[in-house]
Amino acid sequence: MNKYTITTKIENFAPPETAEAWDASGFAVETSTNEVHKIMLCLTPTQDVVNQARNQNCDMIISHHPLFFVPLDWADIDIYSAHTNLDKAQGGTTDTIIQTLGLEKYSVDCAHEFLRMIDFGKQVQIEDFSSILAQISPNARIINNKGIKSVQRVAFCAGSGSEFINDAKKLGANVLVTGDLKFHTALEAEIVVYDIGHFEAEILILPVIKNLIGKGVEIVYAQEKSPFEQI
């Protein structure tokens, strides 16, 4: 399959012009070879992932996280990413969390580029909602500075979304589920915030990318794991 046919399929779903100005989505490495027979999908392009791709004779790497610096010895394989444009896309990273948890029936309109909202229509105990999140992130952390006992309206943001805590509150959410949280941000949070892990929040998008590409090319997943381990 032609590599530009592949990237066009992704870009029709997640238009590159919607990416943030600082983002580096698109081709990080663009070789002179156009035909692709085997693709490795990954969350983050690292040296280990590049080695895996070479060992498995992949012609191309497609990632969610972009490269802001490309090592010179990576110039032999096409590397393409869809980052903030995929975060914003309908059916993208954040929507995929909601769908994986089986909560899409509770989705409500949310006028925000990165946030997605669900409303249970009733109060749900914190413990019960925590159990739902444990399906994809058994080691999730919770910040509950106000001692909130139950939730109803929940905002989601895959990846690093702690900057949107106040936005979520203004939109009526009393909970934000995201994938990265800093200490001082946690101290100041006035709503419940779950940090489900950056890796756990976004690795779910890879099968979505695979489905976008469809048939006509072999697709394999990189062996990846979160750098954080429990002690």
Residues 104 and 78 in one domain: no
Q: Is residue 12 part of a domain?
A: yes
pLDDT at 139: 87
Residues 17 and 37 in one domain: yes
The predicted model gives 149-176 an average pLDDT of 96
Give pTM, 2 decimals: 0.95
Over 90: is that where the pLDDT of 222 sits? yes
Q: Is residue 229 part of a domain?
A: no
Residues 141 and 174 in one domain: yes
Residues 136 and 53 in one domain: no
The predicted model gives 142-157 an average pLDDT of 97
CB 167 within 8 A of CB 112: yes
Q: Is residue 230 part of a domain?
A: no
The CATH number that applies at residue 110 is 3.40.1390.30
Residues 192 and 108 in one domain: yes
Over 90: is that where the pLDDT of 141 sits? yes
Residues 103 and 120 in one domain: yes
Q: Is residue 35 part of a domain?
A: yes
For the stretch 93-126, what's the b/e string if a residue is b when 16 or more beta carbons lie within 10 angstroms of its beta carbon? bbbbbbeebebeebeeebebebbbbbbeeeebeb
Over 90: is that where the pLDDT of 102 sits? yes
* Domain membership of residue 34 as a residue range: 3-86+205-221
Between CA 100 and CA 64, with CA 205 as vertex, the angle to 5 degrees is 155
The predicted model gives 161-188 an average pLDDT of 95
pLDDT at 208: 98
Q: Is residue 132 part of a domain?
A: yes
Strands (E), the chain: 26-29, 38-42, 60-63, 78-81, 107-108, 116-125, 141-143, 150-157, 175-178, 192-195, 218-221
pLDDT at 5: 98
Q: Could you tell me the two tokens for 63?
A: 């990632």
Residues 131 and 154 in one domain: yes
Q: Is residue 227 part of a domain?
A: no
Q: Is residue 106 part of a domain?
A: yes
Between CA 172 and CA 181, with CA 178 as vertex, the angle to 5 degrees is 110
Question: Model confidence at 229, in pLDDT bands (50, 70, 90)?
Answer: confident
Residues 215 and 161 in one domain: no
The predicted model gives 53-59 an average pLDDT of 97
Question: Count of domains in the chain?
Answer: 2
Over 90: is that where the pLDDT of 231 sits? no
Question: Model confidence at 196, in pLDDT bands (50, 70, 90)?
Answer: very high
